[in-house]
Structure 1
Amino acid sequence: MLKNQFFEIQNFVAVAQAGSFTSAAQALGMTGSALSKSILRLETRLGTKLFHRTTRRVTLTNDGDAYLSDCRNAMAILDEAENRLGSAQQLPAGRVRIDLPTAFGRRYILPSLIDLSTRYEQLELSITFSDRTTDLMDDGIDLAVRVGPLGNNLDLVARRLGEHRRVICGAPSYLERRGVPQVAEDLRQHDCVVGWPLGQRPSWLLKNSEGETEAYEIPVRHEIGDCEAILAATVAGCGLAQVPTWLVEDHLRSGSLVSVLDDQAADAMPVHAIWIKTPYIQPKMRVVIEELLQLAQVPGSRFQVNQPGII
C-alpha cells in the first residue's frame, strides 16, 4: 500500500467517526478542501461512493459502512502489531508461574531460572515441581517443561528442547540374586520399580528381534511417584528400573548400578517447553522461554540429544 493511500484511509475513518468534514479536518489539522479532495481520490480509486453529502450532514453509504468496518479491523491489527513490538522492548516485569519436572527441573533448569531472576530485578517467579501432567489453564501455570509425548492441544504452544534417553538398570546385589535379563521377555520374571501409574498398563519400550519398538508389559513391585526415590530404591536392590541416563550416570560409572538389555534399549522421551497460546508473548514470558532455548543449546547440556551417557 502506498503512503498516500494509507492517509486517505485514515482521513475516511476520521470523517466517518466525526460525521462532518469540518470537524474531521480540524482534528486532522488540514483544510476542508484538502480533506474533500482526499476522500474523492479514495472514492475514485475504489470506484464507489462512500458518503452521502448534504449541506447539513454527512452519512455513510452502504458501501461506505462496510468499508469502515474493514478499515477499523485493519487499523486494530496494525495497532496490535505496534503494541506487540513495543512490549518486546520493555524490561521483563511481573510474575511467571512455571512448572518443572521434579529431579530434572531442580538439577538442570532451576539454577538458570534463578540466574535469570538476578538479571531482571522486576521478574518474579513462582516455581513448582511435578512429574504429573498438569492443566496449565486450570492450575494457573504460565509455562511448563514436560518430558514425554504431548497431546494435541490447539490452545498450547510447544517448543522442543531435546530428548531424554533411558536405560534399564539394577543393583549388582539384585542381579546376582535374580539373574541378568537377556531378552525383553525375561523382564516378566523380575521385580520392577516404576513411577506412579496414570491409568495405563505398566510397560517399557524395547526393540524386538526385527528392530521394531514394542511395549513390554512388566510386573510391578513398587510404584513410586518421584524419580530420585525410584533411583534410591533401585540402588538398594529392590528391582529393575527404567530411568533417564542423566539420573544414573554416576551410579553406572561407579558400578553401584548396572545397565541391562542395552542392545534393545529404545526408549527416548522428548522434552518440550509449553505455554498457553496468546496473540503475543509478554516480555516476562519471552525471557524465560529464551533462557530455556539457550540452555538447551549449551554444549554438554542435559537437553542435548546425542550426548553419550547423558541424554
Structure 2
Amino acid sequence: MIKNQFVEIRNFVTVAQAGSFTAAAHTLGMTGSALSKSIMRLETRLGTKLLHRTTRRVSLTNDGDSYLTDCQNAMAILDEAENRLGSEQQTPAGRVRIDLPSAFGRRYILPTLIELSTRYEQLELTVTFSDRAVDLMGDGIDLAVRVGALDNDVDLVARRLGEQRRVICGSPAYLARRGVPLSAKDLAQHDCVIGWPLGQRPGWLLKNVEGVTQTHEIPVRHEIGDCEAILAATLAGCGLAQIPTWLVEEHLRSGALQSVLDDQAGDDTPIHAIWIKTPYLQPKMRVVIDALRLLAQSPGSRFRAG
C-alpha cells in the first residue's frame, strides 16, 4: 500500500511539472490511460481534486498547488537522505566505538586514531581503555584490540596484528637486597608484582627444561590493575614483575631495571584486532582496521615482539 502511494505521488509530481499527461506518461514509461487512473486514485484517496484537465493542458487546483509543494519538499528530503547515505558508503563517516589495552593503546594506537580522525572529518571516535576482555555486543563496542589468546567465538572476526613479549625484571636495589633468581623455583622466595588475576591462580609464562612454555605459579605480594602502575612499583623496588618489552625496554637500557631468567622467558603473546562479523564492513570500520594493520607492519612497530 505504501509503495503504491509513493508511485502515485511520483506520478502526480511528474504530471504537474510537465503540464501534460502525454509528456508525463512518456517520461514515466506509462500509457496515458494508466497515468490518468493513477492520478484519479490519488485524488480519491485524498478526497480532493488536484488537477484541472482540458484537451490542451493540465493545471493545478489550489489544493493541487499546495500538495505539489509539500510533495516536492518531501522528495527533496528523501533525495538528500539517499545521497548522504550513498556518500557515507564510500567515505568513512559516522561513529566507531573502539576499546584498547590501557598502556599499549594510549602509547602506540591512540596517536594513529587521532591522526585518522583529522584525515577523515566525518569520522567520529569513542575510545575506551581496558585490560580486561569486553563483550563487544553487550557493551556496544565496534572494534577492540586485545593481547592474549582469544576464545573461539563464531560471531567475531579476528585479525592478528603482531606479538607481545614479556620479561621478568626488578630494580638493581631490589635484586641486591633479595638476590637474583637463577631458576623458576627461586621465585618462591621473592616478592612478585602482578596484574589482577581475574579469579585465576597467579602465574607467569616460563619455559620448562623441555622448552615448553607453561604457566608457573608465583607468590604474590602486590596486585595492581594497570601495566604502567606495575612498572612504577617495580622501578621503586617493590619486587619482580613480568612486563612487556615495549614498556620496559628504555629502563633496561638505562639500567634502572635488570631482567632475570631470560633463558626461561615465555613465548610471544598474540595481539589481535577483533570485531563483530557482518556481511558488509562499513568504510568507517575498514579504514580503522587498515590503519591498525599498517601501524603493525611499519618499521620499528611495537606490535612486534622484541
Q: TM-score, normalised by structure 1?
A: 0.70
Q: Is the 8 A contact 2:89 2:282 kept in 1?
A: no
Taking a change above 3 Å as real, the CA distance of residues 267 and 195 of structure 1, as seen in their structure-2 partners, is farther
Q: What's the offset of the Cα at 1:214?
A: 2.0
Specify the code of the residue in structure 1 equivalent to 2:260: V
Q: TM-score, normalised by structure 2?
A: 0.71
The residue number in structure 1 matching 2:163 is 163
Q: What's the offset of the Cα at 1:147?
A: 0.4
Residue by residue over 1:91-143, the C-alpha shift from the partner in whole angstroms, topping out at 9 and shown as x without a partner, is: 11100000000110000000000000000000000000010111011111000
Specify the code of the residue in structure 2 equivalent to 1:270: P
The residue number in structure 2 matching 1:213 is 213
C-alpha distance in structure 1 between counterparts of 2:283 and 2:168, whole Å: 42
Structure 1 residue ranges without an equivalent (≥5): 1-25, 31-85, 306-310
Q: Is the 8 A contact 1:87 1:282 kept in 2?
A: no
Q: What's the offset of the Cα at 1:29?
A: 7.0
C-alpha distance in structure 2 between counterparts of 1:280 and 1:137, whole Å: 17
C-alpha distance in structure 2 between counterparts of 1:104 and 1:214, whole Å: 24
Instruction: Name the SS of the counterpart of 2:165 in structure 1.
Output: strand
Q: What's the offset of the Cα at 1:208?
A: 1.3
The residue number in structure 2 matching 1:199 is 199
Q: CA RMSD in A?
A: 1.8
Specify the code of the residue in structure 2 equivalent to 1:221: R
The residue number in structure 1 matching 2:176 is 176
C-alpha distance in structure 1 between counterparts of 2:121 and 2:156, whole Å: 28
Residue by residue over 1:198-233, the C-alpha shift from the partner in whole angstroms, topping out at 9 and shown as x without a partner, is: 111011111112212222100000000000000000
Residue by residue over 1:259-299, the C-alpha shift from the partner in whole angstroms, topping out at 9 and shown as x without a partner, is: 00001112421100000011110111110000000101101
C-alpha distance in structure 2 between counterparts of 1:113 and 1:228, whole Å: 21
Q: Kindly tell me the number of residue pairs found equivalent between the two proteins.
A: 225
Q: Is the 8 A contact 1:87 1:283 kept in 2?
A: no
The residue number in structure 2 matching 1:187 is 187
Identity, in percent, stands at 79
Within 5 Å, give how 1:65-84 maps onto structure 2: none
Q: What's the offset of the Cα at 1:89?
A: 6.0
The reply to whether residue 286 of structure 1 matches residue 282 of structure 2 is no
The residue number in structure 1 matching 2:90 is 90
Q: What's the offset of the Cα at 1:155?
A: 0.6
C-alpha distance in structure 2 between counterparts of 1:209 and 1:194, whole Å: 24
The residue number in structure 2 matching 1:124 is 124
Instruction: Name the SS of the counterpart of 1:127 in structure 2.
Output: strand
Larger Rg: 2
Taking a change above 3 Å as real, the CA distance of residues 88 and 272 of structure 1, as seen in their structure-2 partners, is farther
Structure 2 residue ranges without an equivalent (≥5): 1-25, 31-85
Q: What's the offset of the Cα at 1:88?
A: 8.7
Residue by residue over 1:157-181, the C-alpha shift from the partner in whole angstroms, topping out at 9 and shown as x without a partner, is: 0000000010000001110111100
Residue by residue over 1:9-68, the C-alpha shift from the partner in whole angstroms, topping out at 9 and shown as x without a partner, is: xxxxxxxxxxxxxxxxx9x979xxxxxxxxxxxxxxxxxxxxxxxxxxxxxxxxxxxxxx
C-alpha distance in structure 2 between counterparts of 1:180 and 1:88, whole Å: 59
Instruction: Name the SS of the counterpart of 1:304 in structure 2.
Output: coil
The residue number in structure 1 matching 2:259 is 259
